[in-house]
Amino acid sequence: MDFGMKNRLSRIFRPKTGKTVMLAVDHGYFQGPTSGLKDLKKTVTPLLPHTDCLYITRGMLRTCIDPNTDTPVCLRVSGGPSILGDLSHEDITTSIEEALRLNAAGIGMSIFVGAKNEDRTISNLGRLINDAERYGMPVLAITAVGKEMGRDTRYLGLACRIAAEIGAHMVKTYYCEDFHKVVEACPVPIVIAGGKKLPEMEALQMTENAIKEGASGVDMGRNIFQSDNPVGMIKAVRAIVHKGATVKEAFEIYSKK
Ligand code: R5P
């Protein structure tokens, strides 16, 4: 691996633990003003110091994030359809030059395995990686889960493995039963999305389970920014990911206002 690729990956995964707490705030790219992100700047600013890497679109990065931040950024570079359409119609929306101009540490896009346009999204991933490799830019492949797709080990294992085979440097997927089987069959680091808002204790339990079963961290959104104590929640998630805290210890951290 070249210096550029290694260096960017070390800005996403903390070298001390090899893990990451990414904060996902890209939801608006297909959902519009998502609850908790209507005023993205207000929500994200207090969370940034506790974030290893911010996952965001270029539009929100330019308009809402202070360029003096030292929190690295991973850019969402795919999009197209909204929640009103077929989400699997996604294409690449942001070029590699933009990612370089914006000093991104990584870029990410979704693949829709099993959906109508799975082939198009997987080919797009291949093309994006071809461009990204030229500049030492790591690519995060996200295994999107549509209404008609499952969230079990077999489905997520299939989608993660395909992403790795195409050349993704890291994969974002969902936690599922027997998650360790998904990890074992995927040779690149996996981070979990949080999914819909859960009670804090459940979200922390899911985080602990995922880490114990081999996840390299989280790229979590709603379970942090929709919490009644977002700073407490991200600190609690960090304690599990980086320090091996128990759910009970993490919950105490979350509870401190
Ligand atoms: C979904 O496609 C988005 O990329 C989100 O970044 C991802 O789902 C993580 O956010 P959440 O934890 O809210 O699911």
Q: Please check the confidence at residue 146 and state whether its pLDDT lies above 80.
A: no
pLDDT band at 26 (very low <50, low <70, confident <90, very high): very high
Cα distance between residue 180 and residue 190, in whole Å: 11
Cα distance between residue 234 and residue 75, in whole Å: 20
pLDDT band at 145 (very low <50, low <70, confident <90, very high): confident
Best of 21, 26, 34 for a ligand 1 pocket test (most atoms within 8 Å of beta carbon): 26
φ, ψ dihedrals at 138, nearest 5°: -70, 145
Our answer on whether the CB atom of 170 is closer than 6 Å to any ligand 1 atom is: no
Mean pLDDT of 226-251: 98
Selecting among 6, 19, 42, 172, the annotated active-site residue is 172
The per-residue pLDDT for range 155-202, each reduced to its tens digit, is 999 999 999 999 999 999 999 999 999 999 999 999 999 999 999 999
Please tell me the residue having the least CA distance from ligand 1 atom 14.
195
Q: Please check the confidence at residue 149 and state whether its pLDDT lies above 70.
A: no
Least confident range from 99-103, 226-230, 253-257: namely 253-257
Q: Please check the confidence at residue 99 and state whether its pLDDT lies above 80.
A: yes
Our answer on whether the CB atom of 26 is closer than 6 Å to any ligand 1 atom is: yes
Distance in Å, CA 30 to ligand 1 centroid = 11
Please tell me the residue having the least CA distance from ligand 1 atom 6.
24
The number of folded domains in the chain is: 1
Report the DSSP beta bridge partners of residue 56.
Answer: 75
DSSP 14: B
Enclosing domain of residue 112: 3-255
User: For position 151, what pLDDT does the model report?
Assistant: 82
Cα distance between residue 179 and residue 156, in whole Å: 9
Q: Please check the confidence at residue 100 and state whether its pLDDT lies above 80.
A: yes
User: For position 148, what pLDDT does the model report?
Assistant: 63
Q: Please check the confidence at residue 147 and state whether its pLDDT lies above 80.
A: no
Higher pLDDT, 185 or 151: 185
Our answer on whether the CB atom of 195 is closer than 6 Å to any ligand 1 atom is: yes
CATH code of residue 101: 3.20.20.70
User: For position 257, what pLDDT does the model report?
Assistant: 73
The per-residue pLDDT of the chain, averaged, comes to: 96
User: For position 150, what pLDDT does the model report?
Assistant: 72
The two tokens of residue 235 are: 């600190």
Best of 61, 192, 219 for a ligand 1 pocket test (most atoms within 8 Å of beta carbon): 219
SS (H, E, C) 178-236: CHHHHHHCCCCCEEECCCCCCCHHHHHHHHHHHHHCCCCEEEECHHHHCCCCHHHHHHH
SS (H, E, C) 160-183: HHHHHHHCCCEEEECCCCCHHHHH
When computed from its CA atoms, the radius of gyration of the chain, rounded to whole angstroms, is: 17
The two tokens of residue 177 are: 């039963």
Our answer on whether the CB atom of 222 is closer than 6 Å to any ligand 1 atom is: yes
Distance in Å, CA 24 to ligand 1 centroid = 6
How far does CA 76 lie from the centroid of its chain? Answer: 9
Cα distance between residue 79 and residue 31, in whole Å: 11
- Looking at the whole model, is its pTM more than 0.95? yes
Best CA proximity match to 188, nearest among 225, 156, 206, 161: 161
Please tell me the residue having the least CA distance from ligand 1 atom 8.
193
Mean pLDDT of 132-160: 90
Active site residue 42: no
